[in-house]
Amino acid sequence: MKQQVMSNVQTFVEVEKQTNSKRKQVGILGGTFNPVHMAHLIMADQVGTSLGLEKVYLMPSNEPPHVDHKETIDATHRLKMLELAIEDNPLLAIEKNELEREGKSYTYETMKVLTEKYPDTDFYFIIGGDMVDYLPTWYKIDELTQLVQFVGVKRPGFSTESSYPIIWIDVPDMNISSTDLRKKITQGCSVNYLLPKNVLHYIQEKGLYLDEK
């Protein structure tokens, strides 16, 4: 088990950078983003700044790999909301590779494409603490750990134990989820400050999530 606490992280990334100063260090936060919320933005920004990454790409999945995952709203809406959410932060960008491909979005396949396309880049794949227990079930997980460095963001109620190498970054506990936001919108409850104002305006203008079950 290889876990690194925050105090070691700077050293780890510095060593990576010094080993080959020409290599780019880039973060990827994959997700459904149905819809994007403040926890996504805070974790992307905190990981990017803590590790000194050049960019952090938010990468919406086409069809999430979980077999039991419920239907998501149209990708056009999820993408538009992401564009609105990141517009004031130059550290953040969007990676559309999975939206441009057909079928399920297996991370191994995506990262194989991206590492071949950008051979001079080191990729840091960011996951929330809730994903860690499921890593052993991910498609070709052992091969994936050769392509990316996982970065974990703690999530209240979820363990940080894993047999896979993960750099853990301390981010304030944020008990926000897209599921909760969708429920609140359906029930007519306030979601102020849980997601960016311009994203909320988009949701209201398009009438999204009004009839979620």
Ligand X SMILES: Nc1ncnc2c1ncn2[C@@H]1O[C@H](COP(=O)(O)OP(=O)(O)OP(=O)(O)O)[C@@H](O)[C@H]1O
Ligand Y SMILES: O=C(O)c1ccc[n+]([C@@H]2O[C@H](COP(=O)([O-])O)[C@@H](O)[C@H]2O)c1
Query: Footprint of ligand Y on this chain (CB under 6 A)?
Result: 30-32, 61, 64-66, 105-108, 131, 138-139
Structural element, H or E, at residue 26? strand 24-31
- Residue whose structure tokens are 């071949």: 116
**Neighbour count for residue 212 (Cβ, 10 Å):** 15
CA 8 to chain CA centroid, Å, is 22
Q: Out of ligand Y, ligand X, none, which partner does residue 75 contact, by CB within 5 to 8 A per kind?
A: none
Q: Tell me the residue nearest to ligand X as measured from the CB.
A: 128
25 versus 105: smaller Cβ distance to ligand Y: 105
Q: Report, in Å, the least distance between residue 145 CB and ligand Y.
A: 12
Q: Out of ligand X, ligand Y, none, which partner does residue 62 contact, by CB within 5 to 8 A per kind?
A: none
- Where does residue 68 fall: left (phi above 0), alpha (psi -120 to 50 degrees), or beta otherwise? alpha
Q: Out of ligand X, ligand Y, none, which partner does residue 162 contact, by CB within 5 to 8 A per kind?
A: none
Q: Report, in Å, the least distance between residue 19 CB and ligand X.
A: 28
Q: Out of ligand X, ligand Y, none, which partner does residue 138 contact, by CB within 5 to 8 A per kind?
A: ligand Y
Contact at 8 Å (CB) between 186 and 168? no
What is the C-alpha to C-alpha distance for residues 209 and 213, in angstroms, rounded to an integer? 9
Q: Report, in Å, the least distance between residue 25 CB and ligand X.
A: 19
Q: Report, in Å, the least distance between residue 40 CB and ligand Y.
A: 10
- Is 93 strand, coil or helix? strand
